[in-house]
Structure 1
Amino acid sequence: MTTEIKNVSKFFGSTHALKSITLSIKTGEFIAILGPSGCGKTTLLKLLAGFDTPSEGEIFIDHQLVSEKNQSTPPEKRNIGMVFQSFALWPHMNVKDHIRFPLLHHRFLQDDLKINIENRLKEVLNIVELQSFAERMPHELSGGQKQRVALARAIAPKPALLLMDEPLSSLDAELRMEMRREIQSLHKVTRASIVYVTHDQDEALALADRIVVMNNGQIQQVGTPREIYDKPNTEFVATFVGKANLIHGEWVDATTFKPSYKNIHSHWAKLDVSADLRKKDLCPIRPEQFSLSYTGEGIEGTIKNVQYQGKEIHYTVDIGPELITIHEDSQYDPFHVDDFVYINLKQTIKSDKPAVTFR
């Protein structure tokens, strides 16, 4: 049951919230829509849910046209499930009644579920591990348990498309990690098609089959988490996902880069960088791909900030025109604020030596 978004745009007065969005979601695929506040990701989710209509374009769910210009099939007539940021639980219903409700009222409920509602109810309770909480009311549940109820209610009728609007943002850090595992397990069991809106890059990288990175109402890049992280197409993707350093210099050829900073004579070779970034004479380097030293050659700089992060130490180094972020293993002797250091790419080459692979 695929979902197709074709050339969808959305205007709010003079504001162009979405600009010609085209995206195909495969059956059973987990798609994360990632971007900063105001990028259009929630607007897109509302159009998929039927809470709003597109100004231009079309949306198909399970080959059925559900949205077109200024017309939209209402949410209750779409084969979808929805998980809200605020849980949206009904205070007068216990856990079991929350899950039973869509089984009684969902328009697209399959015949086998209609005749086995109680069996499906028990099955869903087992999936989200809430068997012993079936009779509890929302006010008797923890934040994580409430989120499980919201997930259970959404998956109970086996919708063609499951929409999640930043479902973990109201939870504390430890609980968010736990719920990520729950959602991964849930997807593995149900194989539901999921569209998951988030501004948290860690969530997107951990959960999604593919990530849709958005900014200013446009899709910047679509790819697997590894593709997005290892080969960002644009400056925005490079700096928003993984916080890459954008190094200025000159591309000697399609895979060899010469940084343009004083006291560095190395070429960085066998790099796989997008054509868009090469045209701008930029090379995205992740913080963990750099190393620091007190002697030798490299990009010169002064350490301005040190943050201990357990297995890593995060350094901010002032190189004059800009700041560079570097992550080093904390098992090594730490550098200190105001230390003068040299920055090198791990596995660099000299310009007069044979190329070696950098990964």
Structure 2
Amino acid sequence: MSTTVQNVIKKFGSYQALHRINLSIQEGEFLAILGPSGCGKTTLLRLLAGFESPTDGSILLDGIEVANAKTATPPEQRNVSMVFQSFALWPHMNVKEHIQFPLQHHRFADKAMKQDANQRIQEVLEIVNLTNFSDRMPGELSGGQKQRVSLARAIAPKPKLLLMDEPLSNLDAELRMEMRREIQNLHQLTKASIVYVTHDQGEALAMADRIVVMNNGEIEQIGTPEEIYYHPETPFVAKFVGKANLFEGSWEGDSFTLKHSNVKWKDWGISNKLKEKSIYPLRPEQITLSRKEHGELTGTIKTKQFQGRDYHYSVAVNDQVIIGHIPLSKPFEVGENVSVIPIEG
């Protein structure tokens, strides 16, 4: 299912949650909506689901308008399913009954599936690896198993659009990594369009075909994970996604001069929009530290954290704290004075 959001505004009283959102989602695409709490990402998802109506603008599914400022098609009349952050399982139904329910009641579940519901239930149980848990009640399941049931219920009627609202946020770190792979596998098997809301950049970068980065009810940038990570177009995207350190100064061609210094750094593919703002971004892994001073930017190490593959250092430079991820082979100690140098290439 292709989905189009055109000039959508959403207000709650005097508060404007979304500002002129324009977005196209292609059939079969995995689109992540990424941003901090309160940026409007869940509001956008609820508009796609039909739980909210736009204050202005329109939403089209497969070219058919399903929502505008005057009217909106209710959720049950859209070929969509939703996976909630809280699992939202019914305590009186077992796993099999959760999968059976949408097959009986979803408007777009075809007749063949309804007539042979048991076959579809078994297919879905296999997809989410719950074949041996069909008779379990929600209270007898782990957090990861509950989320699999939520996914199973959503995909059972074969929706064209699958909406996910931070589905992994209630799971522990190791289980989140496992469930990422499960969701990717589910996407490949179902071929459904997926809109996945998250505040976790790792989830978005790992799973999505494209990422929509939102902030304060607006879209900051849309692009592939590689484009968003390596070529951020705004200071917010650079800091939120790449955790970049942002340096102020001036650009002259491909040369950047740090503010209040003679230190010059070369362009490594920085976007024109950041250049226009006189900013030079460096992600933590693009930084190296040196005890030798060659006229580079210098500062004092304030903290050191061992992270297995590298050390994470915070370096106080003038009134700015810079984060660098440095290989174990180049250890430094708290209190040392060091030079901060970009890694070329």
Instruction: Give 1:1-359 correspondences, 5 Å limit.
Output: 1-253=1-253, 255-260=254-259, 262=261, 264=263, 266-269=264-267, 271-297=268-294, 298-330=296-328, 332-347=329-344, 358=345
How far did 1:249 drift? 2.0
8 Å CA contact 2:250, 2:278 repeated in 1 = yes
User: Percent identity between the aligned chains?
Assistant: 59
**For 2:153, what is the secondary structure of its paired residue?**
helix
**For 1:249, what is the secondary structure of its paired residue?**
strand
Amino acid at match of 2:259: S
How far did 1:73 drift? 1.1
How far did 1:112 drift? 3.3
**For 2:288, what is the secondary structure of its paired residue?**
strand
**For 1:158, what is the secondary structure of its paired residue?**
coil
Q: Which runs of 4+ in 1 moved over 6 A?
A: none
**For 1:89, what is the secondary structure of its paired residue?**
coil
8 Å CA contact 1:263, 1:299 repeated in 2 = no
How far did 1:257 drift? 2.1
Q: Deviations over 1:115-143 (max 9, x none)?
A: 33221111111000100001111111000
- Mapped to 1, the partners of 2:343 and 2:202 lie a distance apart of 24
Amino acid at match of 1:340: N
- Mapped to 2, the partners of 1:137 and 1:6 lie a distance apart of 42
How far did 1:185 drift? 1.0
- Mapped to 1, the partners of 2:330 and 2:43 lie a distance apart of 48
Q: Deviations over 1:166-209 (max 9, x none)?
A: 10111111111111111111111111100111111111111111
Structure 1 spans left out of the alignment, 5+ residues: 348-357
Q: Deviations over 1:234-266 (max 9, x none)?
A: 01100111210111222111x3323335463x4
- Mapped to 2, the partners of 1:44 and 1:99 lie a distance apart of 26
Amino acid at match of 1:71: T
- Mapped to 2, the partners of 1:111 and 1:252 lie a distance apart of 66
8 Å CA contact 2:284, 2:323 repeated in 1 = yes
8 Å CA contact 2:204, 2:225 repeated in 1 = yes
How far did 1:302 drift? 0.5
Amino acid at match of 1:159: P
**For 1:324, what is the secondary structure of its paired residue?**
strand
8 Å CA contact 2:34, 2:204 repeated in 1 = yes
CA RMSD of aligned residues (A): 1.2
Structure 2 spans left out of the alignment, 5+ residues: none
User: How many equivalent pairs are there?
Assistant: 344
8 Å CA contact 1:2, 1:26 repeated in 2 = yes
**For 1:69, what is the secondary structure of its paired residue?**
coil
Q: Deviations over 1:144-171 (max 9, x none)?
A: 0000000000001010110001101111
Amino acid at match of 1:86: S
Amino acid at match of 1:53: S
- Mapped to 2, the partners of 1:137 and 1:51 lie a distance apart of 28
**For 1:168, what is the secondary structure of its paired residue?**
coil
8 Å CA contact 2:265, 2:342 repeated in 1 = no
**For 1:11, what is the secondary structure of its paired residue?**
strand
Residue matched to 1:350: none
- Mapped to 2, the partners of 1:57 and 1:338 lie a distance apart of 56
**For 2:129, what is the secondary structure of its paired residue?**
coil
Q: Deviations over 1:3-44 (max 9, x none)?
A: 111110001111111001010001110111111111000111
What TM-score do the two structures reach when normalised by structure 1? Answer: 0.93
How far did 1:63 drift? 2.3
8 Å CA contact 2:3, 2:60 repeated in 1 = yes
8 Å CA contact 2:10, 2:56 repeated in 1 = yes
- Mapped to 2, the partners of 1:291 and 1:280 lie a distance apart of 25
How far did 1:70 drift? 3.7
8 Å CA contact 2:17, 2:217 repeated in 1 = yes
- Mapped to 2, the partners of 1:81 and 1:309 lie a distance apart of 39
- Mapped to 2, the partners of 1:320 and 1:56 lie a distance apart of 47
How far did 1:51 drift? 0.7
- Mapped to 1, the partners of 2:247 and 2:323 lie a distance apart of 11
8 Å CA contact 1:35, 1:199 repeated in 2 = yes
